[in-house]
Amino acid sequence: MNAYDTRRMQDILRPMGYTSVDEPDAADMVILNTCHIREKATDKVFSDLGRIRDHKLEMEKKGQQMVVAVAGCVAQAEGDVILSRAKHVDMVFGPQTYHELPEMLAKITGAYGSARIINTDFPVEQKFDYLPDENTSCGASAFLSIQEGCDKFCTFCVVPYTRGSEYSRDAAAILKEARQMVANGTKDITLLGQNVNAYHGTGTDGKTWGLGRLIRELAEIENLKRIRYSTSHPCDVQDDLIEAHRDVPQLMPHLHLPVQSGSNKILKAMNRKHTIEDYITTLEKFRTAQPDIQFSSDFIIGFPGETDDDFEDTYNLVQKIGFASAYSFKYSPRPGTPAANMTHLIREDIKDARLQRLQSLLFEQALSFNQSFIGHPVEVLFDTQQHKEGQLHGRTRYNTAVYAMGPSRLSGQIVDVIVESAGQMALHGAIRIESDI
C-alpha cells in the first residue's frame, strides 16, 4: 500500500515540476514513506533520516534547499517525536493527507527554515477524491487501493490507529482508475486494502458491492489479464468471493489469507475472531471452487503467552495445509496496542528458535512448490522494465518471480516460459514460443 501511495504522491507532485530520482544525494525534496507495523520498520526510519541529514547539510553548504518529509504510518503515530528528534525534518504527514502535499509544500518552501509542518489529521474529504487524471504507465503489474483502514483491532496491530477506520472507495472510481491503468499498459492489477475482502463500496447501480462483485466488473475490462487482491481477513470471506474464484478466469488462483497462529488460544488472545477450524473450512471452500488454488499466509511467532504446545499447533497447521509462500515475523510489541500491555512475554532466544524452525518448514514448502514447475511451461507476465541486459523478470499466475533471457520487446507481454530451475523465491527458465507475440 505504501508503494501505491508513493505513486499517488508522484502523480500529485508531477504537475508542480517534480520528477523522481534514484538517489537522494541532490534531491530538492526527500519523502520517506514509512511503515509502522513492526519495530524494525520504525527503527529504519531514524537510521535513514540520519543519512538524509548529511545530504541536506551538503546541499545547504552549496546554498541549495532540500525539503525533508516523513510520510506514512510512522509519521501518523510518532509525528511529534520525529520533529523533536530530527531537527532537519521539515514536514511530517500521515497516510490520509498526501493530497494536501501542494499546500504543505507551498508553506515550507515559502518560509523555508522557519516553518515546520505536522499533518496527521483524518480529513473528512478523502484523498481518493484528489486523484489526478494521469496518462503515465504504472507498469505491467500494478497496485490499486480499493479499501483502507481497519475496524478489527487485533491486539498486536497498529493499523486501526494509523490508517483509521474501514473505508471502501466507490466502485465507479475504482473502475475508472483500473481502465486508465489498463489503457496505459497494465495487465495485472492487485487490489489493495488492509482488509481488502471487507470491501463494501457503493456499486454503479447504487447498491453495496462486495469484493466478488467488484472483481466480476473489473474482469469486463478488455486487456486486463490478471486480477489479484491483498490482504484478506479470514472472517470477511464471503460466498461471492469464493464464487468469483470459480467463475472469473482473470482472477488468479492464489490467495494470501493470514492466519497468524495455529493455536485457538493465541488466536483468541490476538482477537482474531475465528478459530483454526473456521480457517481450514474456508480454505477447503476455496479449493472446491478453484482446485488449482494455492495459499500463502502470515505468521506471528512468540505472541505473549505462546507455549511450546501453541507453537507446535502452528507448526502442525503449516504441515497440514502446505503453503506456496508465507511471511513470518517475531512478535513485536507496538505502542498503544492492547498486546503491548500483556504479560507472559516470550524470551527473544525462544522466539528466534521457534521462528527458525517454522521458517525452515515454510522454505521447504515454498521450494517444493516452485520445483514442481521444473520442466513445465508457466505463463509469465514480464515487467515493463528490463531486469538487466538481456534478462527479463516477470511473475507467474501464482505471483512467483521468474527470470528468463529474452528480447526487451517481450516486456509487458504474457509469454510461456519452460522452467529450468527453481529456488525458494524464484524460477529460472527459457522462453518457449515467440511466434505469436
Residue 424, contacted partner among ligand SAH, ligand SF4, none, CB below 5-8 A by kind: none
Residue 160, contacted partner among ligand SF4, ligand SAH, none, CB below 5-8 A by kind: ligand SF4
- Order of strands, edge to edge, in the sheet holding 325-330? 254-256, 294-301, 325-330
| Closer to ligand SAH by Cβ: residue 156 or 286 | 156
> Tell me, what DSSP letter sits at residue 64?
-
Residue 151 contacts residue 160 (beta carbons within 8 Å) = yes
Question: With binding defined as CB under 6 A, does residue 195 bind ligand SF4?
Answer: yes
| Closer to ligand SAH by Cβ: residue 186 or 190 | 190
Q: What is the pairing mode between strands 401-405 and 208-209?
A: unpaired
What do you get for the CA distance between the two ends of the chain, in Å?
33
| Closer to ligand SAH by Cβ: residue 259 or 402 | 259
Largest CA distance in the chain: 65
Name 246's Cβ contacts closer than 8 Å, sequence gap at least 6. 289, 290
Instruction: In whole angstroms, give the CA distance from residue 307 to residue 114.
Output: 54
Residue 143 contacts residue 3 (beta carbons within 8 Å) = yes
Least distance between ligand SF4 and beta carbon 36 (Å): 11
Residue 367, contacted partner among ligand SF4, ligand SAH, none, CB below 5-8 A by kind: none
Question: With binding defined as CB under 6 A, does residue 231 bind ligand SAH?
Answer: yes
Least distance between ligand SF4 and beta carbon 157 (Å): 3
Grid-cell match 466488473, residue found: 217
> Tell me, what DSSP letter sits at residue 373?
T
| Closer to ligand SF4 by Cβ: residue 257 or 417 | 257
Residue 196 contacts residue 230 (beta carbons within 8 Å) = yes
C-alpha cell at 124: 473528512
Residue 55, contacted partner among ligand SF4, ligand SAH, none, CB below 5-8 A by kind: none
Q: How many residues bind ligand SF4 (CB under 6 A)?
A: 10
Crossing angle of helices 239-247 and 211-218, in 10° steps, is 30
Among 334, 351, 354, 395, binds ligand SAH (CB under 6 A): 334
| Closer to ligand SF4 by Cβ: residue 165 or 368 | 165
Among 76, 119, 155, 194, binds ligand SAH (CB under 6 A): 194
| Closer to ligand SF4 by Cβ: residue 70 or 150 | 150
Among 37, 41, 86, 175, binds ligand SAH (CB under 6 A): 37
Among 96, 186, 195, 282, binds ligand SAH (CB under 6 A): 195
Residue 398, contacted partner among ligand SAH, ligand SF4, none, CB below 5-8 A by kind: none
Residue 294 contacts residue 324 (beta carbons within 8 Å) = yes
Residue 38, contacted partner among ligand SAH, ligand SF4, none, CB below 5-8 A by kind: ligand SAH
Least distance between ligand SF4 and beta carbon 153 (Å): 6
Binding residues for ligand SAH restricted to 286-305, rule: CB under 6 A = 298, 300
Binding residues for ligand SF4 restricted to 136-155, rule: CB under 6 A = 150, 152-154
- Cα angle 430, 435, 437 (rounded to 5 degrees) comes to 85
The H or E element spanning position 9 is: helix 2-13
Residue 331, contacted partner among ligand SAH, ligand SF4, none, CB below 5-8 A by kind: ligand SAH
Residue 64 burial class via C-beta count within 10 angstroms: exposed 0-12, middle 13-18, buried 19 and up = exposed
| Closer to ligand SAH by Cβ: residue 335 or 375 | 335
Choose the stretch contacting ligand SAH; rule: CB under 6 A; options: 15-23, 58-66, 93-101, 324-332.
324-332
> Tell me, what DSSP letter sits at residue 394?
E
What is the phi-psi region of residue 260: left when phi exceeds 0, alpha when psi lies from -120 to 50, beta otherwise?
Answer: left
| Closer to ligand SAH by Cβ: residue 156 or 279 | 156
Name 394's Cβ contacts closer than 8 Å, sequence gap at least 6. 140, 380, 381, 382, 383, 401, 402, 404, 415, 417
Question: With binding defined as CB under 6 A, does residue 233 bind ligand SF4?
Answer: yes
| Closer to ligand SF4 by Cβ: residue 233 or 245 | 233
Grid-cell match 512475554, residue found: 345
CA distances from 52 to 95, 261, 409 (A): 21, 38, 38
Least distance between ligand SF4 and beta carbon 80 (Å): 23
Question: With binding defined as CB under 6 A, does residue 159 bind ligand SF4?
Answer: yes
Choose the stretch contacting ligand SAH; rule: CB under 6 A; options: 111-119, 282-290, 329-337, 402-410.
329-337
For ligand SF4, the binding residues (CB under 6 A) are 150, 152-154, 157, 159-160, 194-195, 233
For ligand SAH, the binding residues (CB under 6 A) are 37-38, 156-157, 194-195, 231, 233, 258, 260, 298, 300, 329, 331-332, 334
